[in-house]
Amino acid sequence: MAHGNYYGSAYIHSAEIIRKGVEDMEVRKRVTERLTWKQVGEALEIGKAKELLKVGDQITVQHKDLGAVVFDVLDFDKEELIGDQKHSITLQMHKLLLPEMPFDEAGRNKWEKSTIREKFAKQEFINGFEAGFRELLAAALKKNDDREKTADIFFLLSVEEMTEIDERYAFYDDRANMCKQNEDGYGDWYWTRSANRGSGSITWFVYSSGYVYGNNANSDYRCAPACVIAK
């Protein structure tokens, strides 16, 4: 697949409301601004990323296998980072682009031991993204209920990060954002990284309607990986 001039640039998409004079009708207009990864990194470094982007904006990143991957901006400075970075942006794939897969092929519901986590940690997956984006990726410590935190570059969101007022990302203040579509534009089910505490094999997933349910970890569902860019 040809990547053209996408490499080295981030494509930032934001929506603004324009009112049409006498009719007072609201029209949504997509506004596209081209930014370099260097600009994004510099804004992060000085703590001014919120002046460049806002929650709900979208960044398109090229991947050698997936093509153009659109990420939603979930929140700013929300993560417990590993390393000396001070400011971060949390991103999540907008669509469910990856094929259906089990949370864990052995049926375990613990994120830290899951095969889905192993897939996201592979260099083959990470190195598929364009260089400017990769250079900003940062590992974050993620909570896993009452178990030890894990250090992850790509991860699934927990139920709490989408639903609990004290823990959720600002993007999920709008619960409608829990409904996600696959690459064909149809609403689909997707995994979270949260385990059902009463079982060793039940993992929570989000139904196409946005409600949370549980099923066996060896079931096949889609996923919406998230990640952190930081400086």
- Given a contact cutoff of 8 angstroms between Cβ atoms, the answer to whether 45 and 135 are in contact is no
CB neighbour burial string for 47-56, b if at least 16 within 10 angstroms, e if fewer: eebeebbebb
Q: Give me the mean pLDDT over the 133-149 stretch.
A: 95
Domain extents for the chain?
Answer: 73-230
* pLDDT tens readout for residues 107-134: 999 999 999 999 999 999 999 999 999 9
Reported pTM: 0.89
- In whole angstroms, give the CA distance from residue 73 to residue 228: 10
Q: Does pLDDT of 13 surpass 70?
A: no
pLDDT number for residue 31: 52
Q: Grade residue 15 by pLDDT with cuts at 50, 70 and 90.
A: low
E strand segments, 77-189: 80-81, 88-93, 101-102, 140-144, 147-152, 154-155, 180-181, 187-188
- Given a contact cutoff of 8 angstroms between Cβ atoms, the answer to whether 196 and 214 are in contact is yes
- In whole angstroms, give the CA distance from residue 143 to residue 145: 6
Residue 205: which of 217, 218, 190 has the closest Cα? 190
* pLDDT tens readout for residues 183-216: 999 999 999 999 987 788 999 999 999 999 999 9
Residue 152: which of 168, 141, 136 has the closest Cα? 141
* pLDDT tens readout for residues 38-89: 999 999 999 999 998 999 999 999 999 999 999 999 999 999 999 899 999 9
